[in-house]
């Protein structure tokens, strides 16, 4: 399958060619022609599946087909949960729309000055990319009208609901015409997302993409057990000091944790900086720019702040604190292995975190491969999870069997090492 079979114009095909992508991903193959046909779509696809192009390209196709009368309002509205993701989506509009010289896009995100955004709106943008909260603020100030919207895109709708944007989304939708086309993308279409979707769409086509169909390369998932915080810190320093690390994102549970860890890493001589929601937009943009240009090696981030970061140089993701939800794990590790490269995701687990590890493994369907770092092996206590076999059952399996004698590493097993079960021997980390 090639892109020229999807019904896209020459200008868009040229822009795709310039990115170097030759084969549409599964979500692109299904969603692009369906969206061009004009119906509503509910698409379940994970981060890294190539979903941004899957909704951006059909929107641009619609825009290039007909120019609106002078003075019309924006025709496409794309909503995303975080500032970083919105900026990334706006960048995709720019990348794929490079042949449409007249195309004008406004990006409305929180934390940036209203006046600059009001100037963008005064230039009559064709496309608005926004986070829901800031868009509602502009609507309240009567700085824009959404009555000419032809396509409404909700990217990562599940996340927007998690972040409490339901009322904002409903207010925004009320300001758009009922005749609009709605494209909803989400990791899941069940539960509250399903209810939201039912209220927003008409006879939608459902497109479900399996979780492991990624546009990004293969991500090797590793597990390192730690005895406690100071052991975690030493493991982290050893991981980041490994010669195979090009750039890394380290995840913490809290904003304060991110600040503190970034400082500690700086003191150890690493090029590290924090990224979290309490930083103003200017500081966040500067940090991300340093990451993109390679001047920053290690980003210490919270889940929300790191959502959507797409930097090809990120070779490693480290879960210093475990994610609160298994789903966040998938978003986190998707920061590496971008644009077809390979990546390594390392999870540091404390002695009492076996339940969370099991939840992640159940969610992803993958087992994390247990590794050790020579000289930093965990005590048997840390590798002594209270539960085995998943679903909360206690197992008779003696946990000490998780390790080969003396923590000696062994070669990967025939199953590709994708197991963290009780018979698994650990492997050396920096190979």
Query: Please, which residue, 225 or 329, has the CB nearer to ligand AMP?
Result: 329
The 3-class secondary structure across 55-101, one letter per residue, is HHHHHHHHHHHCCCCCCCCCCEEEECCCHHHHHHHHHHHHHHCCCCC
Query: Please, which residue, 248 or 265, has the CB nearer to ligand AMP?
Result: 248
CB 314 within 8 A of CB 308: no
Q: Does 326 bind ligand AMP (CB under 6 A)?
A: no
Q: Does 159 bind ligand AMP (CB under 6 A)?
A: no
Two structure tokens written together for 14: 């040229």
Q: Does 29 bind ligand AMP (CB under 6 A)?
A: no
Q: Which 8-state DSSP code applies to residue 189?
A: -
CB 81 within 8 A of CB 307: yes
Please state, in angstroms and rounded to a whole number, the distance separating the CA atoms of residues 359 and 391. 9
Site residues (CB under 6 A) for ligand AMP, limited to 87-116: none
By CB under 6 A, which span of 45-53, 143-151, 278-286, 292-300 interacts with ligand AMP?
Answer: 45-53
Q: Does 50 bind ligand AMP (CB under 6 A)?
A: yes
Minimum CB separation of residue 49 from ligand AMP in Å reads: 5
By CB under 6 A, which span of 42-50, 57-65, 222-230, 352-360 interacts with ligand AMP?
Answer: 42-50
Site residues (CB under 6 A) for ligand AMP, limited to 2-21: 21
How big is the site for ligand AMP, counted in residues (CB under 6 A)? 18
Minimum CB separation of residue 53 from ligand AMP in Å reads: 5
CB 302 within 8 A of CB 254: yes
- Work out the burial of residue 398: count CB atoms within 10 Å of its CB; fewer than 13 is exposed, 13-18 middle, 19 or more buried: exposed
Query: Please, which residue, 261 or 317, has the CB nearer to ligand AMP?
Result: 317
Q: Does 44 bind ligand AMP (CB under 6 A)?
A: no
Q: Does 53 bind ligand AMP (CB under 6 A)?
A: yes
By CB under 6 A, which span of 50-58, 101-109, 171-179, 278-286 interacts with ligand AMP?
Answer: 50-58
Q: Does 51 bind ligand AMP (CB under 6 A)?
A: yes
Please state, in angstroms and rounded to a whole number, the distance separating the CA atoms of residues 207 and 34. 9
Site residues (CB under 6 A) for ligand AMP, limited to 177-236: 215-216
Site residues (CB under 6 A) for ligand AMP, limited to 291-320: 310
Q: Does 59 bind ligand AMP (CB under 6 A)?
A: no
Please state, in angstroms and rounded to a whole number, the distance separating the CA atoms of residues 6 and 21. 14
What is the number of other CB atoms lying within 10 angstroms of the CB of residue 152? 24
Q: Does 47 bind ligand AMP (CB under 6 A)?
A: yes
Please state, in angstroms and rounded to a whole number, the distance separating the CA atoms of residues 176 and 203. 18
Please state, in angstroms and rounded to a whole number, the distance separating the CA atoms of residues 139 and 315. 41
By CB under 6 A, which span of 23-31, 63-71, 293-301, 364-372 interacts with ligand AMP?
Answer: 23-31
Report the run of H or E that residue 194 belongs to, with start and end.
helix 191-200
Minimum CB separation of residue 24 from ligand AMP in Å reads: 5
Q: Does 335 bind ligand AMP (CB under 6 A)?
A: no
Please state, in angstroms and rounded to a whole number, the distance separating the CA atoms of residues 330 and 307. 11
Interior angle at CA 39, CA 38 and CA 44, nearest 5? 120
Query: Please, which residue, 343 or 378, has the CB nearer to ligand AMP?
Result: 343
Q: In what order do the strands lie in the sheet with 427-428?
A: 272-275, 298-301, 247-251, 314-319, 343-349, 219-225, 369-372, 427-428
Q: Does 339 bind ligand AMP (CB under 6 A)?
A: yes
In terms of Cα–Cα distance, which of 431, 399, 417 is closest to 223?
417
Residues engaged in binding ligand AMP (CB under 6 A): 21, 23-25, 28, 47-53, 215-216, 310, 338-340
């Amino acid at each position: 399958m090639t892109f020229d079979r999807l019904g896209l114009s020459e200008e868009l095909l040229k822009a795709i060619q310039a990115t170097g992508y030759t084969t549409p991903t599964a979500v692109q193959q299904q969603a692009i022609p369906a969206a061009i046909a004009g119906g509503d779509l509910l698409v379940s696809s994970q981060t890294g599946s190539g979903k941004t192009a899957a909704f951006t390209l059909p929107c641009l196709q619609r825009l290039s087909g007909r120019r609106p009368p002078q003075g019309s309002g924006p025709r496409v509205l794309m909503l995303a949960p975080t500032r970083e993701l919105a900026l990334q989506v706006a960048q995709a509009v720019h990348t794929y729309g490079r042949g449409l010289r007249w195309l004008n896009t406004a990006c409305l995100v929180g934390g940036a000055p209203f006046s600059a955004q009001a100037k963008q709106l005064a230039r009559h943008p064709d496309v608005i990319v926004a986070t829901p909260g800031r868009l509602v603020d502009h609507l309240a100030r009567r700085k824009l009208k959404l009555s000419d919207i032809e396509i409404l895109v909700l990217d990562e709708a599940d996340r927007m609901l998690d972040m409490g944007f339901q009322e904002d989304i409903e207010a925004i939708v009320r300001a758009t015409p009922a005749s609009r086309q709605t494209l909803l993308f989400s990791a899941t279409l069940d539960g509250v997302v399903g209810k939201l979707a039912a209220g927003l769409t008409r006879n939608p086509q459902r497109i479900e993409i399996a979780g492991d169909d990624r546009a990004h390369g293969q991500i090797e998932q590793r597990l390192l057990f730690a005895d406690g915080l100071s052991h975690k810190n030493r493991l982290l320093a050893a991981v980041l000091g490994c010669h195979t690390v090009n750039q890394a994102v380290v995840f913490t549970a809290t904003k304060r944790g991110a600040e503190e860890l970034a400082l500690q890493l700086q003191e150890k001589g690493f090029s590290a900086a924090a990224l979290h929601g309490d930083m103003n937009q200017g500081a966040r943009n500067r940090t991300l720019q340093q990451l993109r240009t390679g001047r920053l090696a290690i980003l210490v981030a919270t889940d929300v702040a790191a959502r959507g970061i797409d930097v090809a140089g990120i070779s490693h993701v480290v879960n210093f604190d475990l994610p609160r939800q298994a789903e966040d794990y998938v978003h986190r590790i998707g920061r590496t292995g971008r644009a077809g490269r390979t990546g390594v995701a390392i999870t540091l687990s404390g002695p009492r975190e076996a339940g969370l590890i099991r939840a992640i493994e159940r969610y992803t369907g993958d087992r994390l491969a247990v590794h050790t770092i020579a000289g930093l092996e965990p005590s048997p206590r840390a590798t002594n999870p209270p539960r085995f076999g998943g679903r909360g059952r206690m197992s008779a399996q003696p946990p000490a069997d998780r390790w080969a004698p003396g923590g000696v590493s062994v070669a990967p097993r025939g199953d590709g090492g994708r197991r963290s079960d009780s018979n698994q021997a650990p492997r050396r980390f920096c190979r």
